[in-house]
Amino acid sequence: MGFVTLMVVLFWLKTLVAYFVDFKLGLSDPFQFLILLLNPLATTILLFGLALYFKRARFFYPFLFLIDILNTLLLYINVIYFREFTDFMTVSTMLGYSKVDQGLSGSSLALTSPHDILYWLDLVVVLVLMATRRIYIDPRPLNKRVGLAVTSSALLLFTVNLTMGEMDRPQLLTRTFDRTYVVKYLGLDAFTVYDGIKSQHTSELRSHAKKSELSGILKYVHKNYAAPNKKLYGVAKGKNVIIIHLESFQQFLINKKINGQEVTPFLNKLYKSKSTYSFDNFFHEVGQGKTSDAETMLETGTYGLSQGSLFTQLGNDNTFQAAPAIFDQAGYSTAVFHGNVASFWNRSSTYKNLGYQYFFDASYYDTSGDKSLGYGLKDKLLFNDSVKYLQHLQQPFYVKYLTVTNHFPFTLDSEDSSFKTPNTGDKTVDNYFKTAHYLDQSIKEFYAYLKKSGLAKNSLVMIYGDHYGISNSSNKSLAKLLGVNPDDWNDYDNAQLQRVPLMFNMPGYKKGKVEHTYGGEIDVLPTLMHLMGMSTKKYIQFGTDLFSKAHNPVVAFRNRDWVSPEYTSIDGTVYSNKTQEEIHPTKQQQKLINAMQKHVNQGLSDSDSLNQKNLLRFYHPKGFKAVDPSDYNYSDGLQKEEKIEKKLGLKSTSLFSRNGDKSTQPFYKTDAPELGHKTTDSNRIKITNQDDTSGK
């Protein structure tokens, strides 16, 4: 037992070396620190304790050493892998060693560090001590009860560990939005086992999948296809596409005033502009994958999964026929700008399979000090600091900005905003308006840059909210601000509050208006593609063009509830949108409701089947080239684009080249205090007057 204890303690210590020196696990409070200290012990005791089931010393010692060596090897290869990819190795990555080797070839030695000796030193020292008889081999046979006792204790400790992890991060294993979180809360061994189980389940589904299973899905998609509106088809053809992802931004923020001050004055103006098509009955449709689900629908035209995140569960090796690849093959440059780590939601892998050429994550920005909040770089800094990369992309381009400041728990430094919050008694609700106001200012500054740099006149800017910010548990506190009696608030109100903004803004366009069509995030991709003059008929997409006369206005929620212009169905209870009360349907109404429910159920089921079984590998749309993720390397920045600029010379279409090979960074004006600006009201007004030609 003394020898087992020694080996456990030594392995625990070198695991902590990896946690604090090599892995960036992002500890934010003492409770997480306590969990991190605890999590290597449970699985280490469990694994090393298996040796105690061997009665004889000649089996006990070699087995314990074998377990220690294998566990050390697992730890060390993750250390090397993390240094290169800022992520942990999945079971599928380990099994496909050729891909890992390709990614690390020529750099493995460069990825080593002098302190790596600590990962192997304990094994060498113990062997030397045993060889010199400083540690004696105990020949006495062991009682099996010892092994059972140690195993039971390890399982109990793991249960405590898991409970603490769930307390700090609810739905830790069901959402799995970042592999780093599983390692931080449960340890590397637990993550590997968990990932192996998931991989096995996925593998079984895919091994039995057949091409014939596509026929039913294609029948549903073709039946529900909506031809484009001829007046709007191709209205933005050839323009740049700039997507602004509004984190946790709900529709009720538009035109909302708090203490007499507009929460989002710039977005309000944009929302009502004649250059914008806006939608006031547009709903998010995310599940546990939240932001990643919104991206899944936006990029692929398929739904997120019923449990967990498609990005994290299937993003490593799924086949996609997604927007980035479609635009790339139409001659567009494609990129994502995001101030969080690349591994969050497994974006670093999934984006390659989607076909994104570039991904500018936190490693491309200065996120030190107060420049960053819990989920990454503040929005004003993201837009400002992305200019140096955006200006080198060849036009036309398809780019996406993922904002993060308006994210739960909605905390913001006092220097960043002087917006006066409401006083509902719920800090989450009160602060939500402050961070939303900050996001609005960020977009205003970015738009001023687009105009001054000349990008605005040749771009379509799509702005959308990804999911709710205020959860159902806080909606009664919010009700006071919406003019609703909290005591009257019910499930129907919760469903209606899932509206988020959607705007297609084309500077210079004069026919825009606010549309009242019912739709959801699944409808964005076909709508965008048709505006760009790209046919969607050959692709498998589960939404329909919001501008089409054949658009289906039934909006499916991930839990199979739904809303339509006439009815809302929540947990089987149907409400009339007109009376906002529960109804008892007539036979005619029930027939219509059943048809809507069938449509929702089939769409969600077919999408799940398509993604979980990776059926798109059997589908080859004419003219579309399958994505090869090995074509993309997100660590080389814009080297490829800069080489293109030099090669093309005067023919280069990048903003940098068109500005006489001069940076457009000076065009950007921001009042971000992190860059040395004071965020007083007078200073903000001064900057606003410089950028707003209306003089308001």
From the annotation, which residues make up the binding site for Mn(2+)?
247, 291, 466-467
> H-type helices in 546-680, by residue range?
587-612, 639-648, 655-658
CA-CA distances (angstroms) from residue 139 to 61, 142, 145, 610? 10, 9, 18, 58
Q: What end-to-end distance do the CA atoms of the chain give, in Å?
A: 78
Look up residue 264 and give its two tokens. 């989002």
Task: Assign 3-class secondary structure to 168-227.
Answer: HCCCHHHHCCCHHHHHHHHCHHHHHHHHHHHHHHHHHHHHCCCHHHHHHHHHHHHHCCCC
The binding site comprises: 247, 291, 407, 466-467
Nearest in space to 447 (alpha carbons), one of 377, 362, 384? 384
Determine how many CB atoms are found less than 10 A away from the CB of residue 261. Answer: 12
Nearest in space to 195 (alpha carbons), one of 316, 357, 68, 71? 316
Considering the candidates 15, 90, 192, 291, report the single residue annotated as catalytic. Answer: 291
Q: Are 567 and 574 in contact (CB under 8 A)?
A: yes
Q: Is the dihedral of CA 573, 559, 402, 464 positive or negative?
A: negative
The binding site for substrate comprises: 407
Nearest in space to 651 (alpha carbons), one of 341, 395, 358, 388? 395
- Residue 291 annotated to the active site: yes
Nearest in space to 142 (alpha carbons), one of 60, 47, 87? 60
Half-sphere exposure of 508 (CA within 13 A, CB side): 13
Q: How far apart (Å, rounded) are the C-alpha atoms in residues 209 and 203? A: 10
The catalytic residues are 291
